[in-house]
Amino acid sequence: MFNPDAFVEALTLVFTFKTMMWLAIGVTVGVGVGAMPGLTAATGVALMLPLTFVMDTPSALGLLIGVYKGAVYGGSISAISFATPGTPEAAATVYDGYKLMRAGKGRKALLMALYASVTADFLSDVITILVAPMLAIVALSFGPSERFWLMLLAVTLLGALSGNHLAKGMLSAALGLFIGTIGTDPVGAVSRNTFGLWWLQDGIHLIPLVIGVFAMGRMIEEVAKLMRESGTTRMVGAAVSGLLSKTTEGLSLREYMSTWKEMLIGLGIGSFVGMLPGLGSTVGAFLSYSVAKQVSPEKKIGTGVIEGVAAAEAGNNATVGPTLVPLLAFGIPGSSTAALIGGALMLQGVTPGPRMFELFPEVIYSLFIILLVGNVFNLGIGRFFAFIYARLGELPRPLLIPLIMLMAVIGSYGFQQNPYDVVIMLAFGLIGFGMRIFGIPEAPMVITFLITPMAEGSIRRALLINQGDWLGALFHSPLAIGLFVSVIVLTFFAIKLQIGERISEMGAVKAEEAKEGKEAKEADTTED
Amino acid sequence: MPGSDHGFRRWVVTNQGVGALLTVILGAFLIHLLLTEWVHRDLRDGFKLGFFPVTGVIVMMLCTIALMFDSRRRQITDDLRDIEWKSWLYCFAALIGWYFYFELSQLIGFLLVTPVFLFPLMYVLGVRPWTTAAASGAIVTVIVYGLFRMLGIAMTQGILPF
């Protein structure tokens, strides 16, 4: 399956000044986004998505993957500096990271976070490069019935594992299904579900939807918080200045090597979790942290040791590459950010899925090379600027919120100069805000929205092949029956065992511990 | 359902309360959907045009009904517990404000409208003194304009020639 010509072409496409520049910009922006509490990797990628419309494919991938990698690592910076995780996936880093910070070893903790992130990210990218093509070969043998059930299985997984309440996860997925049908039907192109509005006949595009949900919705929430908290004094760590000093204790090679076991745990768990739709890097970080704590009780993880930072950071960054595996192998995004990267590929005229390996091998190779090279940029930018990024947590939110909102409005208009896209973006901003305050996860909605046309196309093709016989269309082969049984079994266990709730509870316990650490910090600050 | 006004206010933000509200809205929407002509239209391949949209609404309704009766029906999310009605007001005000901003920037132009819009917004959000808010609004405008122009992404022009 390896195509040497396409690989050489990919090398020439990636190693250009332009692609490298966008990759560097992506990582720089990403680390900044991650370091600022309230902004997530998905917000950063959603805001950058409209910019990719005017770029070539490698530059677009460089920018988005750079933002993604940078943001997942960047979350650790404010987690360690202020006990305020910049992104949810960095919450597990707070406990040991902030204790190290309070012990005057903030620099050591930041470097450990960086090295563990980059090591696990790099190795998980290698796993991605090995696993995705193999799964794609399997996926190519799937017919429309199997594809339909596979998508349903992915949606069920997303609903069951995203968030902490099965009904809310499934509600989000069903909303995505409904929104995905607005416009025209994917087979006959007949107009439907447009509420009588002519401008909805083209359907809802991914860009205004994701910008609305991930950027505008979150900023509205921030506005509401800011208005509620007005008058309160922000306490940002004066201790951060200590990080800038070269005299502060750094990380030795021996110390880095001593955390190999935790990084390996993070790599294994993160890679596995990343490949499963619906779990994501937050779960990867918490699972890795908990397992490392149990495996090595003698290391006293949780008391402020670098092993705790290594386990959490390796666990979250190891999900970055593998989260693209379902997208590349089956055309089904495993996370919101993977959905956004899939959307960017579609904007470039490349449909993600197993056929991509045959039709656009140079894009696949470019993506793989960018995944690997992105780690070098992450290491360089993180190494030299992490201590400056720590200052970003102090950036006044009243300045940041209008900037992001403005980018959201202009970005959703700029991508096809359609004023109605701004209206759609604002509407999804409201929906996103409502979903967040009611605890409905956004990922199932966005991913189901993307795969609905494919699922409908698959089942209708299956019906055509089976001349309108539903039973034949749905249960065409033993594999289709197996996938159907998997959906039923998964739904049963999701209801019975409340898997998502258990995972979230585990995260909540750690978050509570992190909160206690932060409260201790605030008490210290008050005393000072 | 609790009888007092206070009890009702508390109930309406529980999973059960929100689930009930959404079930009523979705139920009304489902009826509306089933009464429209296109939902029942047969396509050339024998498929009903409304099959997937109706399935989406029905699954949403099943989920909202589940919210009303499952073991976590009395739970209130932290955000919903903390949120005040004023927050919804801010939310709508922000959305309407940005809508009018966009309409005006189409009419007058990005470079003229943006700093004028950002200045009061930043001031309301807490940027002080007002000169900093005004200067920040202008700087943000120039940065965003420069970035999008550099990339060749179209922006609202209005009366301006650029």
Residue B10 sits in which domain range?
Answer: 5-82
Same domain assignment for residues B75 and B92: no
pLDDT for A510: 56
Final residue before a domain boundary, out of B36, B64, B82? B82
In a domain, B131, yes or no: yes
In a domain, B158, yes or no: no
In a domain, B156, yes or no: no
| Two tokens, residue A244 | 């800038």
Give the chain A residue nearest B135 (alpha carbons): A399
**What's the angle, vertex CA A216, arms to CA B130 and CA A73, rounded to 5?**
95
pLDDT for A501: 66
Contact B127 A396 (CB under 8 A): yes
In a domain, B67, yes or no: yes
Same domain assignment for residues B61 and B94: no
pLDDT for A63: 96
Contact A227 B87 (CB under 8 A): yes
pLDDT for B159: 84
In a domain, B157, yes or no: no
Same domain assignment for residues B20 and B64: yes
The residues of chain A scoring below 50 in pLDDT are: 231-239, 525-528
In a domain, B162, yes or no: no
Same domain assignment for residues B71 and B111: no
**Prediction ipTM score:** 0.93
Nearest chain B CA: its distance from A516 CA (Å): 17
Question: Into how many domains does chain B fold?
Answer: 2
Same domain assignment for residues B100 and B43: no
Best CA proximity match to A143, nearest among A469, A476, A453, A481: A476
Question: Which residues 94-153 of B have a C-beta within 8 angstroms of A?
Answer: 94-95, 98-99, 101-102, 106, 110, 114, 118, 121-122, 125-127, 136-137, 140, 144, 148, 151-153
In a domain, B50, yes or no: yes
Query: Does residue B32 sit at the A interface (CB-CB below 8 Å)?
Result: no
Same domain assignment for residues B131 and B120: yes
> For chain B, how big is the Rg over CA atoms in Å?
24
Same domain assignment for residues B37 and B104: no
Contact A226 B86 (CB under 8 A): no
> Do A64 and A372 meet the contact criterion of CB atoms below 8 Å apart?
no
Same domain assignment for residues B57 and B113: no
Same domain assignment for residues B108 and B146: yes
Query: Does residue B13 sit at the A interface (CB-CB below 8 Å)?
Result: no
Residue located via tokens 């401008």? A199
Partners of residue B82 in chain A, C-beta under 8 Å = 228
In a domain, B43, yes or no: yes
| Two tokens, residue A246 | 């070269």
Nearest chain A CA: its distance from B4 CA (Å): 23
Same domain assignment for residues B127 and B61: no
pLDDT for A157: 86
Distance CA A353, CA A372 (A): 21
pLDDT for A527: 44
Final residue before a domain boundary, out of B59, B82, B105? B82
Nearest chain A CA: its distance from B91 CA (Å): 6
pLDDT for A505: 62
Report the amino acid identity of residue A486: S
pLDDT digits (tens, 9 = 90+) for A36-76: 877 888 889 998 998 888 899 999 999 999 999 999 898 88
Final residue before a domain boundary, out of B46, B66, B82? B82
Same domain assignment for residues B122 and B73: no
Same domain assignment for residues B9 and B67: yes
Q: Strand pairing partners for A192?
A: A183
Report the amino acid identity of residue A450: L
Partners of residue A186 in chain B, C-beta under 8 Å = none
**Pairing state of beta strands A191-192 and A183-184?**
antiparallel
The residues of chain B scoring below 70 in pLDDT are: 1-5, 162
Nearest chain B CA: its distance from A33 CA (Å): 17
pLDDT for A238: 43
